Structure 1
Amino acid sequence: MIIYGIKNCDTCRKALKELGNPELVDIRHDGLPENLLRRAAETFGNDLLNRRSTTWRGLSEDERAAPMEDLLRAHPLLMKRPLIEAGDRLYLGWTPQVRAALLG
């Protein structure tokens, strides 16, 4: 299991702790692998983009109009976190539904 997020994100830390410390890929430094970005975009659509983030608020209207995948390539911190890859399944966020699916 791999968690894509940032190491100082409270939600990512909660997920890491509850899942028994799986691998964390820090998107601030490593970005998202291209194939994963495409899969996540297909799976979650615009829900993948965090429009409440500080990064989003700092973008101009022209920048915000760019395609979602281009925005996430340029600004990985715009991704809602965590993005969890468990086998061939993807999960977004650390909601009660995601916790139930991953923890049983």
Structure 2
Amino acid sequence: MRLYGLKNCDTCRKALKSLQDIEFIDVRADGVPDAVMSQAFTHFGEALLNTRSTTWRGLSGDERARAPLELLRDHPTLMKRPLIERDEELFLGWTAATKAALGVD
């Protein structure tokens, strides 16, 4: 199981603390593999973009109009977090539904 997120993100830290045997990938330092990002975008669509983030607010209108996958490639901190990959299955956010699906209380 892999968790894509930021090391200073409180939500990612909560998820890491609750999950066992998980590999953490810092999206700022290591990025997200193109195949994983494409699969996540296919599955979650525009919900993958965090339009409430400081990074988003700092983008110009022209930048915001770019294709979401291009934006996420150039600004990985725009991704909603955490993105969890388990056995070809993806989960976005640390919600009650995600916790239930992963068997976490």
TM-score, normalised to structure 2's length?
0.96
Partner residue of 1:2?
2
Alignment size in residue pairs: 104
After superposition, residues 3-18 of structure 1 pair within 5 angstroms as 3-18=3-18
Q: Which amino acid aligns with 1:56?
A: W
Q: Which amino acid aligns with 1:20?
A: Q
Q: Which amino acid aligns with 1:49?
A: L
Q: Secondary structure at the match of 1:77?
A: helix
Q: What runs of 5+ residues in structure 2 fail to find an aligned partner?
A: none
Once residues 6 and 21 of structure 1 are traced to their aligned partners in structure 2, the CA distance between those partners, rounded to angstroms, is 18
**What's the CA shift for 1:22?**
1.2
Once residues 2 and 22 of structure 1 are traced to their aligned partners in structure 2, the CA distance between those partners, rounded to angstroms, is 5
- After superposing on structure 2, the runs of 4+ consecutive aligned residues of structure 1 that deviate more than 6 Å are none
Once residues 69 and 29 of structure 2 are traced to their aligned partners in structure 1, the CA distance between those partners, rounded to angstroms, is 17
Q: Does 1:34 align with 2:55?
A: no
RMSD: 0.9
After superposition, residues 54-69 of structure 1 pair within 5 angstroms as 54-69=54-69
After superposition, residues 59-98 of structure 1 pair within 5 angstroms as 59-98=59-98
Once residues 29 and 6 of structure 1 are traced to their aligned partners in structure 2, the CA distance between those partners, rounded to angstroms, is 9
* Percent of residue pairs bearing the same amino acid type: 59
**What's the CA shift for 1:20?**
2.4
Partner residue of 2:52?
52
Q: Secondary structure at the match of 1:46?
A: helix
Once residues 21 and 4 of structure 2 are traced to their aligned partners in structure 1, the CA distance between those partners, rounded to angstroms, is 13
Provide Cα deviations, 1:20-49, integer angstroms capped at 9, x if missing partner.
251100000111101001100100000000
